[in-house]
Chains A and B, each alone.
Chain A
Amino acid sequence: MADTFTVGDGLKVSSTVVRRACARAALDCPGVVGLQPGMSSIAQGMLRRAGEMLTGRAAAGPLDGVEITTDEQGSPLVLLTVAVAGRPAKEVAIELADGLAERVWQLTGARPTQVRVRVSDIVPIGAEAPDADTAHTGNL
């Protein structure tokens, strides 16, 4: 994954900022109740986290449900892993897949060329999110 994305005029945006913008945009979507890290996210982050543990820094929890890779042109490709409630998972996932790129572009100037959404959990209304220790609902 690239560390930065060039957004024109000599401006570069950190990939972490893009991830953070993705997380914020996703959590703003009605029906999204949390971001959940996936196995690949854990694997990719393991070395980073080991370093963070050694330096006393915790894993960047609120961003764990957002994975970013790059396409051939160096533009971001986004994979979101979310928990949903109160709306059909299909509606939420399509809304994110269709609309998140625009919102991230507005926030950062970097436009993801594709957004993929994986619904990892569907939470019943009124219930606490299962696996709450792995779900992140804010604190950006």
Chain B
Amino acid sequence: MSESAATVQPAEPARSGRLRLPCGRTVTRLWELLDLRDQDTPPTRSHRVLEDHVHGCPHCTAELSRLRELRALTTALAQDAPRAPEGLWSRVMSVVRTELRSGPDLMLVPGDPRAVVATAAVTRVVRRSLQSQPEIRSVGRISVTAEDGAGLVVTVRITGSPTAPAGLADSAADALRVGLADAVGATVIRVDVSVEADAGQEQIDG
């Protein structure tokens, strides 16, 4: 085999519409070869010639590997056994609940609608990031919005523990930025944290 694996190219559609490999063989012929192998059918002379070629051809070897994957997919599809629809209703309702509370989608890259994240997913990251801070007693309302396609704006209310240090808002904002960078990765243009006075209430936000 004279060519490295890195130079192996997938089949390209030729002008005739046939998928032809760089070595000149067509995908159709390889598919036939795969059929013969699977069915244990004696090969014709032309297939024996092709078989000999395949052994030394990186393009055909790679394409055969892809065709086997495709066959596995189609075989799995054909063999899907009928099953009872258990849990279907709970799945549907779970999806409905999730969607209803997920809020609008936010662009992960400003101006690129191909990659978005549900607001609820980001909100959960914000809540987890803050709840992991021992000096924060409770996390209140969280708002996550996208501002002019430039990035995310996060606004949150927290209550500090009785021993919380001064500057809690800043440390909470720092924790938030780290948490969002690790989990979301989107540009965060502003984090507003307001700290409410601890009135001795035992409220814990879930």
- A interface, CB within 8 angstroms of B: 7-11, 14, 16-17, 20-21, 24, 36-39, 42, 49, 52-53, 55-61, 88-91, 93-94, 96-97, 105-109, 114-122, 124, 131, 133-134, 140
Q: A17-B73, A90-B109, A93-B108 are in contact. Are A134 and B98 (CB under 8 A)?
A: yes
Within 8 Å by CB of B73, from A24, A38, A105, A116, lies A24
Question: Does B185 make an interface contact (CB < 8 A)?
Answer: yes
- B108 cross-chain contacts in A, Cβ below 8 A: 89-90, 93-94, 119
**Contact status B114-A114, CB under 8 Å:** yes
**Contact status B116-A9, CB under 8 Å:** no
- A60 cross-chain contacts in B, Cβ below 8 A: 80
**Contact status A42-B73, CB under 8 Å:** no
Q: A8-B17, A16-B77, A109-B19 are in contact. Are A118 and B83 (CB under 8 A)?
A: no
- A56 cross-chain contacts in B, Cβ below 8 A: 82-85
Question: Does B1 make an interface contact (CB < 8 A)?
Answer: no
- Once the chains are docked, how many angstroms separate the CA of A22 from the CA of B98? 23
Nearest-Cβ distance from residue A79 to partner chain B, whole angstroms: 10
Residue of B nearest to A59 (CB): B88
- Once the chains are docked, how many angstroms separate the CA of A14 from the CA of B82? 19
**Contact status A120-B102, CB under 8 Å:** yes
- Once the chains are docked, how many angstroms separate the CA of A37 from the CA of B88? 12
Q: A39-B96, A55-B82 are in contact. Are A97 and B183 (CB under 8 A)?
A: no
Residue of B nearest to A124 (CB): B128
Stretch binding the partner chain, chosen from B44-52, B117-125, B133-141: B117-125
Nearest-Cβ distance from residue A13 to partner chain B, whole angstroms: 8
Interface size on B, residues (CB 8 A): 53
- A108 cross-chain contacts in B, Cβ below 8 A: 70, 73
- B183 cross-chain contacts in A, Cβ below 8 A: 88-89, 122, 124
Nearest-Cβ distance from residue A4 to partner chain B, whole angstroms: 12
Residue of B nearest to A90 (CB): B185
Q: A20-B76, A107-B66 are in contact. Are A134 and B91 (CB under 8 A)?
A: yes
**Contact status B86-A88, CB under 8 Å:** no
**Contact status B114-A117, CB under 8 Å:** yes
Residue of B nearest to A97 (CB): B114
Nearest-Cβ distance from residue A82 to partner chain B, whole angstroms: 10
Question: Does B28 make an interface contact (CB < 8 A)?
Answer: yes
Interface set, chain B 7-21, CB cutoff 8 A to A: 10-11, 13, 17-19
- Once the chains are docked, how many angstroms separate the CA of A27 from the CA of B77? 17
**Contact status A88-B95, CB under 8 Å:** no
